[in-house]
């Protein structure tokens, strides 16, 4: 049985939510993002895109391209609430679905053609979402996630497209190579330099050459160029929290050491948050005294996944919690109220420099290990640590220079 995979993507989601809140904004060039010129564009309306504005662009450049654009600060709480409404509608109707991000979903509707047609059912689902949420949404149906996602992006906004079984190669052939998920700027530039600009040309590249050029990713690239993707639709489930805690071998009252450990914990959980493309709105700190009394304190904050924001809150909570001056045997940090986000960090309060820095840091951590790039205050600089730092400093310096340009 041929698979039937539906890709649903809310059109300009952040902008659509803002227009839903304030209808008079419809039809205007809008930018959602940092309020100052050093900020970054989180999302923009299709009217602004006509001027060349796009997400992750520095705000000063976006305003140069479209000076008449209206800039709106982000409201992750409203975006999360509207995303949840769409999720509830899909969960009621779909046999199996995956929430890929705050505004993107996959539905496995395999076998439904026996009843009334997958595409017809998908259109009815889209109509229901639009009616109950007043949000624009695009969809595409094909035999796999890859082709459906590419088709949705190609025919947005308000896409309603079906790529029938056997038509995958013909559909992908004339498209630019950067339309394929996984092909980023560096890969695209490498291929452009060789004269490979369309998927049809990429498909003609021998598999051994792609493997030699891109390693194991070359195999995946070859399959994608041929419209092949057997990745399953992973059933939707919401992770409630990300947490970490440490029990000390010897109880301590050394506040400097305790805060150093908390910094390391924040780096760990914040990196996990960005790896999973999630944001948190609730931070909890836990301490356990030597007499086993356990106390916690939490606070709700605007959605974020930035180390420095979480760290500031954790330090404030610890200062309020630790008031007995007794020995401590355990400390812990928990991030909850998680939501999916299409950005690795909160783009509403960050500058372009912040975004570049976090991207570079996460690249290093992902490549060499999360413990290979840490704040100096978390290190016990022993001889062993110095040796490890020397071993990796050259590689990390090279990668940082590469990432930061």
Nearest to residue 101, comparing CAs of 342, 343, 345?
A: 342
Q: What is the pLDDT of residue 383?
A: 45
Residue 16 contacts residue 136 (beta carbons within 8 Å): yes
CA separation (Å) from 366 to 115, 149, 221? Answer: 46, 26, 21
Q: Which residues of 65-79 are buried (b: 16+ CB within 10 A; e: fewer)?
A: bbeebebbebbbeeb
236 domain residue, yes or no: no
On whether both 123 and 206 belong to a single domain, the answer is: no
Specify the CATH number for the domain of residue 126.
3.40.1170.60
CA separation (Å) from 319 to 104, 109, 151, 280, 287? Answer: 40, 52, 52, 21, 11
User: What is the rounded distance in angstroms from the CA atom of residue 396 to the CA atom of residue 94?
Assistant: 45
Residue 7 contacts residue 151 (beta carbons within 8 Å): yes
273 domain residue, yes or no: yes
On whether both 137 and 89 belong to a single domain, the answer is: yes
On whether both 172 and 280 belong to a single domain, the answer is: no
User: What is the rounded distance in angstroms from the CA atom of residue 361 to the CA atom of residue 355?
Assistant: 10
Q: What is the pLDDT of residue 361?
A: 62
For residue 226, the enclosing domain spans 166-230
DSSP strand pairing (70-72 vs 30-33): parallel
Bridge partner list, 294: 288
On whether both 273 and 316 belong to a single domain, the answer is: yes
161 domain residue, yes or no: no
User: What is the rounded distance in angstroms from the CA atom of residue 36 to the CA atom of residue 59?
Assistant: 7
On whether both 257 and 400 belong to a single domain, the answer is: yes
| Residue 99, H or E segment | strand 97-101
Q: What is the pLDDT of residue 148?
A: 97
DSSP strand pairing (241-252 vs 294-304): unpaired
Among the candidates 107, 141, 175, a domain finishes at: 141
Write the DSSP symbol of residue 135.
-
- Residues with a known catalytic role: 104
On whether both 323 and 386 belong to a single domain, the answer is: yes
On whether both 248 and 390 belong to a single domain, the answer is: yes
Residue 278 contacts residue 318 (beta carbons within 8 Å): no
On whether both 250 and 211 belong to a single domain, the answer is: no
For the question of whether the overall pTM of this predicted structure is more than 0.95, the answer is no
Specify the CATH number for the domain of residue 193.
1.10.150.20
User: What is the rounded distance in angstroms from the CA atom of residue 271 to the CA atom of residue 288?
Assistant: 25
* Residues lower than pLDDT 70 in the chain: 35-38, 115, 236-239, 340-405
On whether both 131 and 179 belong to a single domain, the answer is: no
Taking residue 363's Cβ as centre, other Cβ atoms within 10 Å add up to 16
On whether both 263 and 362 belong to a single domain, the answer is: yes
Give 241-308 as a DSSP string.
EEEEEEEEEEEE--HHHHHHHHHHHHHHHHHHHHHTTEEEEEEEEEEEETT--EEEEEEEEEEE--HH
On whether both 207 and 287 belong to a single domain, the answer is: no
Specify the CATH number for the domain of residue 270.
3.30.1490.100
Among the candidates 230, 250, 278, a domain finishes at: 230
235 domain residue, yes or no: no
Q: How far is CA 3 from the centre of its chain?
A: 27
Residue 158 contacts residue 123 (beta carbons within 8 Å): no
| Residue 161, H or E segment | strand 160-162
Report phi then psi at 69, rounded to 5: -65, 145
395 domain residue, yes or no: yes
User: What is the rounded distance in angstroms from the CA atom of residue 56 to the CA atom of residue 51?
Assistant: 15
151 domain residue, yes or no: no
Residue 338 contacts residue 240 (beta carbons within 8 Å): yes
On whether both 368 and 348 belong to a single domain, the answer is: yes
Q: How many domains in the chain?
A: 3
């Amino acid at each position: 049985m041929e698979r039937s995979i539906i890709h649903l993507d809310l059109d300009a989601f952040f902008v659509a939510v803002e227009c839903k809140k304030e209808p008079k904004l419809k039809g205007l060039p809008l930018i959602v993002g940092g309020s100052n010129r050093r900020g970054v564009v989180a999302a923009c309306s299709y009217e602004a895109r006509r001027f060349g504005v796009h997400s992750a662009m520095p705000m000063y450049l976006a305003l140069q391209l479209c000076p008449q654009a209206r800039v709106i600060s982000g409201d992750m709480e409203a975006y999360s609430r509207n995303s949840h409404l769409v999720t509830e509608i899909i969960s009621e109707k779909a046999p199996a679905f995956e929430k890929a991000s705050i505004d993107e979903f996959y539905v496995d509707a395999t076998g439904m053609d026996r009843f009334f047609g997958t595409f017809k059912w998908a259109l009815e689902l889209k109509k229901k979402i639009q009616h109950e949420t007043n949000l624009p949404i695009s969809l595409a149906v094909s035999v796999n996630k890859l082709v459906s996602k590419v088709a949705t992006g190609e025919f947005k906004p308000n896409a309603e497209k079906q790529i029938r079984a056997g038509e995958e190669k013909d559909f992908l052939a004339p498209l630019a190579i950067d339309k394929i998920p996984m092909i980023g700027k560096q890969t695209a530039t490498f291929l452009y330099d060789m004269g490979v600009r369309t998927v049809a040309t990429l498909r003609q590249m021998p598999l051994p050459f792609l493997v030699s050029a891109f390693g194991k990713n070359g195999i995946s690239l070859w399959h994608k160029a041929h419209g092949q993707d057997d990745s399953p639709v992973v059933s939707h489930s919401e992770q409630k929290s990300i947490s970490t805690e440490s029990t000390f071998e010897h109880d301590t009252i050394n506040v400097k050491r305790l805060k150093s450990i908390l910094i390391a914990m924040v780096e760990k959980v914040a990196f996990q948050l960005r790896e999973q493309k999630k944001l948190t709105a609730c931070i909890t700190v836990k301490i356990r005294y030597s007499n086993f009394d356990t106390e916690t304190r939490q606070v709700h904050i605007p959605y974020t996944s930035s180390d420095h924001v979480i760290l500031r809150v954790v330090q404030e909570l610890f200062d309020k919690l630790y008031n007995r001056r007794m020995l401590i045997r355990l400390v812990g940090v928990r991030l909850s109220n998680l939501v999916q986000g299409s950005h690795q960090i909160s783009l509403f309060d960050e500058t372009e420099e912040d975004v570049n820095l976090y991207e570079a840091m996460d690249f290093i951590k992902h490549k060499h290990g999360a413990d290979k790039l840490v704040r100096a205050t978390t290190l016990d600089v022993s001889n062993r640590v110095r040796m490890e730092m020397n071993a990796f400093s050259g590689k990390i310096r090279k990668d940082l220079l590469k990432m930061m340009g």
